[in-house]
A and B are shown apart, each in its own frame.
Chain A
Amino acid sequence: MSLFSELMDRNRVKRTRQRKTANAGMLTLTGLLTALALVPLFWIIGYVVIQGGKNINLDFFINLPRPLGISGGGVLSAIEGTLVVTLLAAVFAIPPGVLAAFYAARSPNTPLGVALRFSTDVLAGVPSIVVGLFAYTLLVVPMKHYSGLAGGAALAVLMLPTIIRTTEEMLKLVPASLREASLGLGAPEWKTSLRVLLPAASSGIITGFLLALARAVGETAPLLMTALGNERFDIKQIITSGVQSHLSVFQIIGHIINAPVDSLPLTLWKYAQQPYPERVAQAWTVALVLMLFVLIVNVSARVWIQSRTRRMKG
């Protein structure tokens, strides 16, 4: 072998070795980065569970907040407020979201369908605090008072993109033969949609709704300027006083949704900024409740969607 080709070979071996090292190094690096990103996840979950678990008890869930120094206070007002606000959000967001999703699933390539899917994606990126300002200008200013209603409307706007997207995906998974069979039997389009497609996709739609709910429950920013917070919010008391003064059911409901309400993330935010250790300890417990709810809903919804997608496709 000539000197020249020997040198060439040596060079080539060296280059190959370099390339292989670079390959191994970079591939390991991506794995390490993935691990690095998961560190905060476990750190947060672990810390919140330890700190929040210390003083979780029944009082926490069934009592109204009490002044500092008096034991046994809870966050009932926040729990009730969260329920009111998210229920209202669901009422506002589900019907339009599901109907729009029907359109997106039926005619995805018409100009309106493309515009719908595009604006759904863009709507998902609007900051939640801006949505809060929107609900403030739309509802709080004309009504001249903060209310759970305005909070619900703000959360509804935030839930809409998730509901439309998942419902659309789930409707697309329903086999075309079901639709064709229904139409072939002479059922009109609307009856096919409501009586055949909707039930077939219902569990998936509920899952999508739960995912949207998990996002909405943790939202704080839009509630700051709509629901405001109200430590004395107590549904039981509103109902008893309403019954005593012979109000109708609708009037009582009106009282409930027209009052400013507390919510769990709002309480957490207020307590976290107070200099009293009792309040901070309660903030950790609120964080635990909130986080467990969100994580459990998220994981179970994903498991459900995964298994369903597999079954429908397979």
Chain B
Amino acid sequence: MLKQLKSLSEKDWRVRIQRALHHGDRPWQGLLILFSGVVIVLMLVIGGMLWVKSSGSRNAFGLSFLAPTANPNWDPVNNLFQAWPFLYGTLVTSLFAILFALPIGIGIAIFLAELCPPWLRTPLTWLVELLAAIPSVVYGLWGIFVFLPKVVAPIGNFLADTLGRVPLAGALFTGPIPASGASRLAASLILTIMIVPTIAAVSRDVFLAIPPSQREAAKALGATEWETIWQVLIPYGRSGLLGAIILGLGRALGETMAVTMVIGNSIQGGISLLSAGYSMASIIANEFAESVSQLHTDALIEIGLVLFVITLLLNILARFLIWRVARQAPQEARS
């Protein structure tokens, strides 16, 4: 009798645990939440690690590390580091890349989403996306041997002869471009090629998310195809398109290998787009494995930290803008 009772209670105990765990569903749910948490926390861990490991450089130089200067110091032997030339190089190449890529990317998106005959749509979309799949080093190799001499050098000489003569703004285009063509202009142009697919893909999705009623209304009022696009669709998807641009900017800022191979890697360079420069990512790529002191390593990690923070903020902003379009679109379609 006692034995029976005991076995029953044992059984009961097991059943209770099984019930409490929902036949294994609770641990499963816990596992899923754990790994989702890991992915979410990863961003914080990346930022935290870079913050901790760059403490040496942060304590030694403070904010003057990033401040603009006319005569920047980057002297690993004497442990003097200032990151301004890299910051400038990254910002100016990325901004010009966006300037070039914006009309091309939006133009492609318009063509793919609104105008293209259906049989051509899928292959063209794929081809544009393949442009993003080619590894960055291959871009760099092609850049050194083909793009620099055949495209960049002639464009650079032309710019130096025309825009370079304009007072004030001409400071950005003072020549001559280095004979090899390796310059900030080369980096901007190669970045343009690399971010066009990003801008095109995201803005195409934005156009596709706009409800057809908007197009129908514009056409019913007598607008031409182009007027529909320019006066109705682009204003409607404005924030999404802005998101696409910011996303492209984020990609341009962080691009490493192709830029390192064509920018010329020179710390002295003035402000001209046509002279050789350096970018934040390329100084890390070139010097990190061969850093000469702990402070040198710390300074490079701090540059990485700055890059991380900038791209993080831009990405959060971009995603927020794109999500807003995606969320508002179906609601309006319903009402």
Residues of A within 8 A of B (CB): 19-20, 22-23, 26-27, 29-31, 33-34, 36-38, 40-41, 43-44, 47-48, 95-97, 99-100, 102-104, 106, 112-113, 115-116, 118-123, 125-131, 133-134, 136-138, 141, 157, 160, 164, 188-191, 193, 214-215, 217-221, 224-225, 228, 265, 268-269, 272-273, 280, 283-284, 287, 290-291, 294-295, 298-299, 302, 306
Q: Are B308 and A34 in contact (CB under 8 A)?
A: no
**Chain B residues closer than 8 Å to A19, beta-carbon distance:** 224, 227
Provide a sorted-by-A list of 23 A–B residue pairs whose CB atoms are within 8 angstroms: A19-B227, A23-B225, A30-B107, A30-B115, A36-B104, A95-B35, A100-B36, A106-B32, A119-B43, A122-B316, A126-B46, A126-B308, A127-B307, A129-B256, A129-B304, A133-B300, A160-B39, A188-B25, A218-B138, A221-B285, A225-B288, A268-B137, A268-B141
**Chain B residues closer than 8 Å to A96, beta-carbon distance:** 35, 38-39
Q: Which of B221-253 contact A (CB under 8 A)?
A: 224-227, 229-230, 247, 250-251, 253
Q: What is the distance, in angstroms, from B236's C-beta to the closest C-beta of chain A? A: 18
CB-contact partner of A287 in B137, B224, B250, B304, under 8 A: B137
Q: Which of B7-15, B80-88, B120-128, B166-174 contacts A (4 or more CB under 8 A)?
A: B120-128
- Confirm or deny: B312 has a beta carbon within 8 angstroms of a beta carbon on chain A: yes
Q: Which of B287-335 contact A (CB under 8 A)?
A: 288-289, 300-301, 304, 307-308, 311-312, 314-316, 318-319
CB-contact partner of B33 in A36, A97, A112, A122, under 8 A: A112
Q: Are B134 and A294 in contact (CB under 8 A)?
A: yes
Bound-state CA distance A32–B176 (Å) is: 31
Bound-state CA distance A60–B307 (Å) is: 38
Asked whether A295 and B133 contact (CB < 8 A) given A30-B115, A119-B39, A123-B39, the answer is yes
Q: Are A294 and B38 in contact (CB under 8 A)?
A: no
Q: What is the distance, in angstroms, from B4's C-beta to the closest C-beta of chain A? A: 28
Q: Which of B1-44 contact A (CB under 8 A)?
A: 22-25, 27-29, 31-33, 35-40, 42-43
Q: Are B308 and A127 in contact (CB under 8 A)?
A: yes
**Chain A residues closer than 8 Å to B318, beta-carbon distance:** 125
Asked whether A193 and B49 contact (CB < 8 A) given A23-B227, A41-B127, A122-B315, the answer is no
Q: What is the distance, in angstroms, from B125's C-beta to the closest C-beta of chain A? A: 9
Bound-state CA distance A38–B129 (Å) is: 10
- Confirm or deny: B193 has a beta carbon within 8 angstroms of a beta carbon on chain A: yes
- Confirm or deny: B271 has a beta carbon within 8 angstroms of a beta carbon on chain A: no
**Chain B residues closer than 8 Å to A22, beta-carbon distance:** 224, 226
Given contacts A134-B46, A299-B126, 10 further A-B contacts (CB under 8 A): A30-B108, A103-B36, A112-B37, A119-B42, A127-B311, A188-B24, A217-B135, A269-B137, A284-B141, A291-B138
With both beta carbons as reference points, the residue of chain B lying nearest to A45 in the complex is identified as B134
Q: Sort A-B residue pairs by CB-CB distance and give the 3 closest, nearest first.
A: A127-B254, A218-B135, A190-B28
Asked whether A34 and B135 contact (CB < 8 A) given A23-B227, A272-B140, the answer is no
**Chain B residues closer than 8 Å to A191, beta-carbon distance:** 24
Asked whether A291 and B134 contact (CB < 8 A) given A137-B53, A138-B49, the answer is yes
**Chain A residues closer than 8 Å to B250, beta-carbon distance:** 125
Bound-state CA distance A130–B54 (Å) is: 13
Q: Are B289 and A220 in contact (CB under 8 A)?
A: no
Bound-state CA distance A219–B285 (Å) is: 12
Asked whether A47 and B124 contact (CB < 8 A) given A100-B36, A193-B28, A224-B285, the answer is no
Residues of B within 8 A of A (CB): 22-25, 27-29, 31-33, 35-40, 42-43, 45-46, 49-50, 52-53, 103-104, 107-108, 110-112, 115, 122, 124, 126-131, 133-142, 144-146, 193, 196-197, 200, 224-227, 229-230, 247, 250-251, 253-257, 261, 281, 284-285, 288-289, 300-301, 304, 307-308, 311-312, 314-316, 318-319
**Chain A residues closer than 8 Å to B33, beta-carbon distance:** 103, 112
Bound-state CA distance A103–B301 (Å) is: 34
Q: Are A31 and B38 in contact (CB under 8 A)?
A: no
Q: Are A31 and B111 in contact (CB under 8 A)?
A: yes
Bound-state CA distance A137–B135 (Å) is: 25
Bound-state CA distance A177–B266 (Å) is: 62
Q: Are A23 and B226 in contact (CB under 8 A)?
A: yes
Asked whether A127 and B261 contact (CB < 8 A) given A33-B103, A33-B108, A122-B312, the answer is no
CB-contact partner of B25 in A30, A190, A228, A302, under 8 A: A190
**Chain B residues closer than 8 Å to A291, beta-carbon distance:** 134-135, 138
**Chain A residues closer than 8 Å to B27, beta-carbon distance:** 190
Bound-state CA distance A97–B36 (Å) is: 8
**Chain B residues closer than 8 Å to A112, beta-carbon distance:** 33, 36-37, 40
Q: Are B256 and A100 in contact (CB under 8 A)?
A: no
Q: Are A119 and B49 in contact (CB under 8 A)?
A: no
Q: Are A164 and B39 in contact (CB under 8 A)?
A: yes
Which of A104, A113, A121, A126 counts the most chain B CB atoms within 10 A? A126
Bound-state CA distance A308–B112 (Å) is: 22
